[in-house]
Structure 1
Amino acid sequence: MSVMAERPQILTEEFETLARIAAREVEGLRLEFIDGKLGVKAVADSDHALIIEWLTRICMQHRPELWLYGEQGIKVEQYRQGRAKTDGALAPSGSIGGQGDWVDPTPVLMVVEVTSYDSDTDARDRKEKPRAYAQTGIPVYLLIDRDNGLVVVHSEPDGQRYETVRTVPYGRDVELPDPVGFSFSTEPLKDWVR
């Protein structure tokens, strides 16, 4: 492998500047920087937004001291050089303030991604993000997979990957392991798929 192939496309600082300009100039454009590659995250549709609203209410009912921060940018990967725009980041209320667009992941107990109906979902939400979140040490990664009608709970990060991955079809109860520590029914998700 050549030296050029191992270098990121751009430096993290350059990415942050580009993402800030893009967000200001192009409505709805959300950029990410994972595994040294620049990526574009699809704009969420209305059902996607309803899923995040529904999940926020569930989190509030079970863990009122936490908040599900929507569309939160976090620093990811082993050396915090990556930047991911999560659909949701569950953390103690008030714990992410004063950090700008890309927050330190230390207080984050769980990240949430809801698949979009685009060609990059498989690579981004099912492969790249689980690896980046596990490398970061985020305890739980919750994937709501609208393409396949599944909820996938990743837990026990070992620094490279999640050691435990549990898949539950829509309509069944799903258990979120500690440190999140609650379960809920996924029945309502059946209403928010195409």
Structure 2
Amino acid sequence: MSISADHRPQMSAEEFEELAAHAPETVTLEFIDGKIGVKAVPDGDHGAIIMWLLRRCMQSRPELDLHIEQGLLVEAYRSGHARPDGVLAPIAHFAGQGEWADPDGVLMTVEITSYDPDTDRRDRVEKPAAYAAAGIPVYLLIDRDSCDTVIHSEPEGGKYRSIRSYDFGVEFVIPELGIPLETEILKSFVR
């Protein structure tokens, strides 16, 4: 099988890890679908949302941790490197693992959209595909552009078979995890 010029990786996974290890602290790098990406520096509203979600998860599921920006090896042969805004896993799940952990055992990844031009491609296209291919059961997207919360679940064949969307202000439960979310507060964290 030949690889087209559009699908050739920009570098190897090892080269990416070396680059990411020496990147300044003000830059967050990811390597998905063979392309290097730079995550926008989170704003205060972004931080408030992740803290809100952290409290919800801890109250509902105290046996789980919501890790902030834990690096995950995703995609076929673990060549992709993603740094989700949040990663829900059992307590101490990542103990002893390095900066880029295996996604096995991860229950949910979380992304909160940023106000940058790459958000559509990165958070709505590339990351759901990468997380589904890695077998992560739930991908939660908090979309500040469309003011809705999107739950992707049932990964199969590199995509999520179930996608449910809830407008900000709606109360719902993440069925796969039993975590209730009252999202009215999210209206305060959009432009």
TM tier, shorter chain?
over 0.9
What is the match of residue 175 of structure 1? 173
Secondary structure (helix, strand or coil) at the match of 1:99 reads coil
Tell me the CA shift for residue 175 of structure 1: 2.3
Q: For residue 185 of structure 1, what is the aligned residue in structure 2?
A: 182
Count of aligned pairs: 190
Q: Name the CA distance, whole Å, in 2 between partners of 1:3 and 1:10.
A: 15
Q: 1:174 Cα deviation (Å)?
A: 2.7
TM-score (norm 2): 0.96
The structural deviation recorded for 1:170 is 0.2
SS in 1 for 2:78: coil
Cα shift at 1:159: 2.9
Runs of 4+ aligned structure 1 residues displaced above 2 Å come to 1-7
User: Which residue is equivalent to 2:71?
Assistant: 73
Q: Which runs of 5+ in 2 are unaligned?
A: none
The equivalent position to 2:158 in structure 1, one of 135, 152, 160, is 160
SS in 1 for 2:45: helix
Q: Which amino acid aligns with 1:144?
A: I
| Structure 2 contact 56–179 (Cα < 8 Å) conserved | no
Question: Per the alignment, do residues 173 and 17 of structure 1 end up closer, same or farther by CA in structure 2, a change over 3 Å counting?
Answer: same
Residue of structure 1 equivalent to 2:130:
132
2:61 aligned partner: 63
C-alpha distance 100-114 of structure 1, shift in aligned 2 (>3 A): same
Does residue 20 of structure 2 align to residue 19 of structure 1?
A: yes
In the alignment, which residue of structure 2 is the partner of 1:9? 10
Quote the offset at 1:124 in angstroms: 0.1
Percentage of identical aligned residues:
57
Query: Cα 1:129–1:2, aligned 2, differ >3 Å: closer, same or farther?
Result: closer
| Superposition deviation, residue 13 in structure 1 | 0.6
Q: CA 1:21–1:66 in 2, change beyond 3 Å: closer, same or farther?
A: same
- Contact in 2 for aligned 1:137/1:159 (Cα 8 Å): no
Cα gap change, 1:2/1:90 in structure 2, threshold over 3 Å: closer, same or farther? closer
| Conservation of the 8 A alpha-carbon contact between 1:78 and 1:159 | no
CA distance in structure 2 between the aligned counterparts of 1:175 and 1:133, rounded to whole angstroms: 21
**Contact (CA 8 Å) 1:131, 1:160: kept in 2 or not?**
yes
Distance 1:18 1:135, change over 3 A: same
RMSD: 1.2
Distance 1:143 1:5 in 2: 27
**Contact in 2 for aligned 1:136/1:159 (Cα 8 Å):** no
TM-score by length of 1: 0.94
Deviation string 1:80-125 (CA, Å, 9 cap, x unpaired) is 1100011000000101111111011012100000000000000000
